[in-house]
């Protein structure tokens, strides 16, 4: 085995996703699964679809291109950049939008490709990332209805990303109110009302989701069983689906405070702090800040302490461990959402899919 590697427990991921799907269905909600932590791993996404997932959401069109032969509905859940319109129309069925110029460009490209591109209009409900306020959304809706190669499939909003907002019954009812005002004014029926991401899931589980919220775009909650913005986990799901493993390349006992003459900054420009703990036994691992964010990692051996890292090495204090580590041994870490995103996107970290 070559290290570092991320171990991906496929059966546990499938189990999680199917539980989330079932719970969504019991609440009248369509699960649109956000696969972005799986990057472009067709061999992980395909089994999810074979097990019943019928809609996959990605933020990067590059990843959706790798899924082009997977038979599922495909959404781009990042607002399209004007430079990628051709691929968005070619490789996705629907994208999230809040800009007139982009919707026009999608329409024109869809006409060129002989297609109808679907859109979800994004409403700004307070998280202050993507989305338009009501008046602008109303104008966008009228505009989109006039375009022959655009179909407005629904409206949506997003929480818990930039502004740390929480989806509440009041906020979701506001979103429904927007849909109903549009329906009344334009004499239409809005098919989908997409009420957020993983952080809306607990509200749904408590049976408090307003009835017209009929889709949720869920990624982390299903694939990892966690909700990083609540600092919480979903009880009935697996939480250890991604484990990072790196190998010890040096193991020595050294003082805990450096000596010599000093600069003010380390190799990443930060000011380090050293506490004198005397001599400590430290393992150097073959993974570094170039591959992973340190704060995203927790050693599975809870007596290990992450001391720091440079671009290519991580330093672990192994002094208090019950394990007698040697050069060549492997140290394993659980990862939070940011950690999984980082390691899955790193070309220097192997991917080992565990099927058993
Ligand atoms: C627009 C949008 N919807 C849904 C999601 C999924 O979020 P989560 O992984 O927290 O469920 C994201 C983030 O990836 C997103 O940007």
Site to probe by mutation for ligand 1, drawn from 37, 95, 161 as the one with most ligand atoms within 8 Å of Cβ, is 161
Site to probe by mutation for ligand 1, drawn from 21, 30, 55, 77 as the one with most ligand atoms within 8 Å of Cβ, is 77
For the cut 80, the answer to whether the pLDDT of residue 320 exceeds it is yes
pLDDT at 17: 98
Among the atoms of ligand 1, which is closest to the Cα of residue 34?
6
Tokens of 299: 């050693």
The pTM of this model reads 0.95
pLDDT at 222: 98
User: Tens of pLDDT along 155-187?
Assistant: 999 999 999 999 999 999 999 999 999 999 999
Q: How far is the CA of 197 from the centre of ligand 1 (A)?
A: 5
User: Tens of pLDDT along 256-305?
Assistant: 999 999 888 888 888 888 999 999 999 999 999 999 999 999 999 999 99
User: Tens of pLDDT along 4-36?
Assistant: 999 999 999 999 999 999 999 999 999 999 999
Residue 230 phi/psi, 5-degree rounding, is -95, -5
Give domain 10-233's CATH architecture. Answer: Alpha-Beta Barrel (3.20)
Calpha distance 322→287 (Å, rounded): 23
Tokens of 97: 């939008």
Q: How far is the CA of 81 from the centre of ligand 1 (A)?
A: 18
Among the atoms of ligand 1, which is closest to the Cα of residue 220?
9
User: Tens of pLDDT along 231-243?
Assistant: 889 999 999 999 9
Name which residue sits closest to atom 12 of ligand 1, judged by CA.
197
Among the atoms of ligand 1, which is closest to the Cα of residue 197?
11
Q: Is the CB of 167 under 6 A from ligand 1?
A: no
Calpha distance 347→5 (Å, rounded): 10
Q: Which of 138, 144, 47, 49 is nearest to 94 (CA)?
A: 144
Q: Is the CB of 9 under 6 A from ligand 1?
A: no
Give domain 242-354's CATH architecture. Answer: Beta Barrel (2.40)
pLDDT at 101: 98
pLDDT at 271: 87
User: Tens of pLDDT along 66-101?
Assistant: 999 999 999 999 999 999 999 999 999 999 999 999
Q: Where do the CATH 2.40.30 domains begin and end in the chain?
A: 242-354
Taking residues 143-161, what's their average pLDDT? 97
Residues 6+ apart with CB under 8 A from 18: 51, 52
Q: Is the CB of 218 under 6 A from ligand 1?
A: yes
**Residues catalogued as catalytic:** 36
pLDDT at 270: 87
pLDDT tier at 199, thresholds 50, 70, 90: very high
Residues 6+ apart with CB under 8 A from 81: none
**What residue spans of the chain are helical by DSSP H?**
10-26, 42-50, 61-66, 85-91, 100-113, 134-145, 169-186, 201-205, 220-223, 337-345
Q: Where do the CATH 3.20.20.10 domains begin and end in the chain?
A: 10-233
- Say how many C-beta atoms besides its own lie within 10 A of residue 142's C-beta: 12
Q: Is the CB of 219 under 6 A from ligand 1?
A: yes
Average pLDDT of the chain to the nearest whole number: 96
Residue 272 phi/psi, 5-degree rounding, is -80, 160
Q: Is the CB of 34 under 6 A from ligand 1?
A: yes
Q: How far is the CA of 318 from the centre of ligand 1 (A)?
A: 37
Q: How far is the CA of 315 from the centre of ligand 1 (A)?
A: 33
pLDDT at 266: 84
For the cut 90, the answer to whether the pLDDT of residue 228 exceeds it is no
Q: Is the CB of 217 under 6 A from ligand 1?
A: yes
Q: How far is the CA of 80 from the centre of ligand 1 (A)?
A: 15
For the cut 90, the answer to whether the pLDDT of residue 340 exceeds it is yes
């Amino acid at each position: 085995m070559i290290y570092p590697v991320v171990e991906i427990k496929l059966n546990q991921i499938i189990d999680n996703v199917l539980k989330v799907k079932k719970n969504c269905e019991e609440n009248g909600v369509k699960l649109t699964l956000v696969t972005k932590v799986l990057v472009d791993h067709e061999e992980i996404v395909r089994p999810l679809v074979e097990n019943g997932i019928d809609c996959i959401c990605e933020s990067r069109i590059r990843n959706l291109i790798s899924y082009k032969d997977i038979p599922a509905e495909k959404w781009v859940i990042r607002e399209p950049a004007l430079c990628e319109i051709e691929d968005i129309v070619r490789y996705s069925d629907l994208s999230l939008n809040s800009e007139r110029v982009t919707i026009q460009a999608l329409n024109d490209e869809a006409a060129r490709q002989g297609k109808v591109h679907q859109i979800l209009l994004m409403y700004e409900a307070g998280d202050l990332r993507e989305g338009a306020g009501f008046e602008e959304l109303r104008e966008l809706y009228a505009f989109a209805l006039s375009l022959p190669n655009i179909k407005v499939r629904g409206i949506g909003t997003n929480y818990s990303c930039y502004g740390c907002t929480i989806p509440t019954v009041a906020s979701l009812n506001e979103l429904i109110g927007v849909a109903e005002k549009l329906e009344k004014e334009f004499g239409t029926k809005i098919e989908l009302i997409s009420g957020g991401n993983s952080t809306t899931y607990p509200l749904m589980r408590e049976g408090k989701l307003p009835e017209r919220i009929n889709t949720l775009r869920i990624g982390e909650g299903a694939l990892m069983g966690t909700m990083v913005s609540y600092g919480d986990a979903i009880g009935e799901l697996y939480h250890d689906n991604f484990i990072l493993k790196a190998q010890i390349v040096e193991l020595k006992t050294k003082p805990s405070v450096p000596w010599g003459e000093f600069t003010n900054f380390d190799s990443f420009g930060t000011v380090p702090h050293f506490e004198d703990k005397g001599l400590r036994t430290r393992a150097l691992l073959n993974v570094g800040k170039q591959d992973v964010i340190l704060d995203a990692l927790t050693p599975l051996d809870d007596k290990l302490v992450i001391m720091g890292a440079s671009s290519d090495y991580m330093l672990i204090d192994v002094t208090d461990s019950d394990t007698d580590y040697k050069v060549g041994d492997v140290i394993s870490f659980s990862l939070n959402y940011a950690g999984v995103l980082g390691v899955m996107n790193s070309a220097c970290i192997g991917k080992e899919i565990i099927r058993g």
